[in-house]
Amino acid sequence: MNSGSQSTPSRVGNLLAGLRESVAAAEFGAADSSDLPFENRLAVVRLGMATSLFYSLRTKHAPTAAHCLRVALSCSAWAQRLGLDEDTRDRIEVAALLHDLGKIGIPDRILRKPGKLSVDEQLTMELIPELGCEILRGCTGDHELLDIIRYANTWYDSRRHGDGPRGSALPIGSRMLAIADAFDAMTTDTVYRPAMSRERAIQELNQHASTQFDPELVGEFSRMLEERPEMLHRIVVDRWLRQLQDNAAPSIWGTVAESPASRKSASSVVHKREVLFFQQMFANQKDGVAFTDGEGTITHWNASMQRLTAIAADAIVGQRFSNDSLRLRDEDLVRDEDACLIRDCLAQGSAIVRSMMIEQPGKTPTPVQVHVSPVAGSVPGVYGTVVTVRDLSDQATLQERLEALHHQTTQDPLTGVANRAHFDNQLEDLTEATIAGGPSFSLIICDIDHFKRVNDVHGHPAGDEALKSFAAVLRAHSRDGDTVARYGGEEFLLLAPNCDNATASKRAEAIRIALESTPLPSLGGEAVTASFGVTEFQSGDTAETVLARSDRALLKAKDNGRNRVIQLGAGNVMQSPADETVATRGWLEWLTGSGPIENGEFDIVSPVPVDLVIEKLRGFIADHNAEIISVDENQVSIKMNATYSRGGRRRADQQMALRVQLTLSESREERSTGRSFNRTNVHAQLQPIRNRDRRGQDVAACFSQVINSLRSYLMGELMRPDSA
């Protein structure tokens, strides 16, 4: 490891001093959910003339407008936290809201291109900041506002902009906007890359601190997300998008904005009912269904299409249909970048039916039948196309298994969903399969808010109806292969195979909205709300740690105001090349080699500041049910159990008690550019507590589990001591 001057151990010691008390106490402090004045000020007061420009951007490309609003809300919250003056906050909010305004001047063929951009097209996209400034000059002469947008894409340590500003000379709004913009891009689905978990995105920001981003602001942004993760909640964006939209946009269902008088008419009621029928049919189709306009731009994308292609609706709607971007291949799996079923259908004016294969990374190609039909009206011309994709793989065995899993002995008698015993078995099986190299999975744990009040005010029969209704909402939002279970009382779980952190969070948010929008007759027409904790399996996990981490996220959601979704964990990210080398050699070779490795000694280097590493360490201790033995200066010693398997017995039946001693230190790494950035080094030493375990054959597996888990929780990279 290359390191600069070491930090003072007393600073780390001061941060560690409160670790024992904070682990024993409540995990996070309460937050007043009403303390969000920045939202009202942004949507109601700050827009002004920018409103029409924002509408123009939304008309050009709705996903870009939604992205800009999310970035604006996060910058507004951040500016308030930093205590910036009112004028600076105003400029940062409006600049963030309109930082992609220049896309209005980018041709649709580039903006909506489903494939990778050519060099010339990339150069065209780099003109967006300057084009945005040109548009804004027509309505403002505020040079500070324009500079925030102009330099939002400038790297903190840039060498590309000649004599332009860099480092701390860049406007603080530009430096903040660059971080918030990158974070939202990394945590949003795209056609070619699924969304990252929040912790993984934070790790990426810290790894590029001092080069692409301001290191001090990256640290502050990371702390804000750690303390108040609900600030950037997607529902806030959706709420303000609805408020900003005065008139309902025409949709494929034919809905238009209605006057108060028309809403009261009988024909309007019938029309709205028919729209609901069509929407439900579209959403619940077992076949994948998508709609495009007359130019091949995708306008609708149902859940089955998302399941078949592994591409989220948020990532594909607004993009042009392309066989290659959807990974559609002919039956011989031949890739043709120029092939496009939509283009052929529109050119021929007739339906196309073709047997094809859909490829997904790490999976066997799925045989499908694709049916593309043109949609024409009474006037000449084609309105668009309807695409139907039918899965032709054999599902009979899977369906029989799913039905068998729900027989009487595995069901909760009140709600009809799975019971706790069945859930525990499913979680254990999924964990073992993932550890063996299978696909990842996510867990959503949810709890009805203030359920005791429901029983006290309306009676226990009303409470039972609320539980049944909640179970029905969860079932309605489950997919094939999911497990919905009642864990006890008003606590429910949804176990989702082949689902990452970001997707699980979006699903939990959809469930939350559906629940609060479902009135219950037994409660006098009122609806109940629920809090949600979400996590994904990550390296080093056991079934117990997955459940504990999701439960900790649930408690954080409750502490931060209830009726919200909180996600924890970095997710099942790919190993770095260094880690793959270690895995290839094998942990046993590590442990039996020469030097300190034989004592379970290793280093983890994290790009985040030491205070955030300690916060993550709190989570590691809580989720592993570990016991703090001692805290001394910059060291902490804990006792924990690691699990292993032998002779076919379940992992939970095999445990080894370990002593884990961690020494934390801060250092600064010098980059080739001459700039430096802070990082945290965690030196760890593992030792079995019982003498009989020290030479046992299972010590390597236990050490491996703890090393992988620490690396995941601390968002760091593993390094051999002899490379330090």
Residue among 99, 96, 97, 126 nearest 110 (CA): 126
**Residue whose structure tokens are 């490891």:** 1
Handedness of CA 241, 245, 248, 251 (dihedral sign): negative
Say if residues 606 and 680 touch (Cβ distance below 8 Å).
Answer: yes
- SS3 state of residue 16: helix
The token pair that represents 599 in the structure block: 């004592």
No. of helices (H) and no. of strands (E), the chain: 29, 17
Single-letter amino acid, residue 616: K
Q: Residue 163: how many CB atoms within 10 A of its CB?
A: 5
Which tokens in the block code for residue 310? Answer: 């592994």
Reduce the DSSP state of residue 32 to 3 states and report it. coil
Q: Where are the beta strands (DSSP E) in 377-459?
A: 382-391, 441-448
For residues 192 and 325, the answer to whether their CB atoms sit within 8 Å is yes
| Structure token digits, residue 620 | 């590691």
> Considering just the CA atoms, what is the radius of gyration of the chain in Å?
27
Q: Which of 230, 490, 536, 717 is catalytic?
A: 490
Task: Please calculate the CA angle 16-19-23 and round it to the nearest 5 degrees.
Answer: 165
What residues contact residue 5 under an 8 Å CB cut-off, 6+ apart?
A: 667, 668
CA–CA separation, 449 vs 530, rounded Å? Answer: 5
490 as an active site residue: the answer is: yes
Torsion of CA 31, 34, 35, 36, to 10 degrees: 120
| Distance, CA of 15 to CA of 711 (rounded, Å) | 20
**Active site residue ranges:** 490
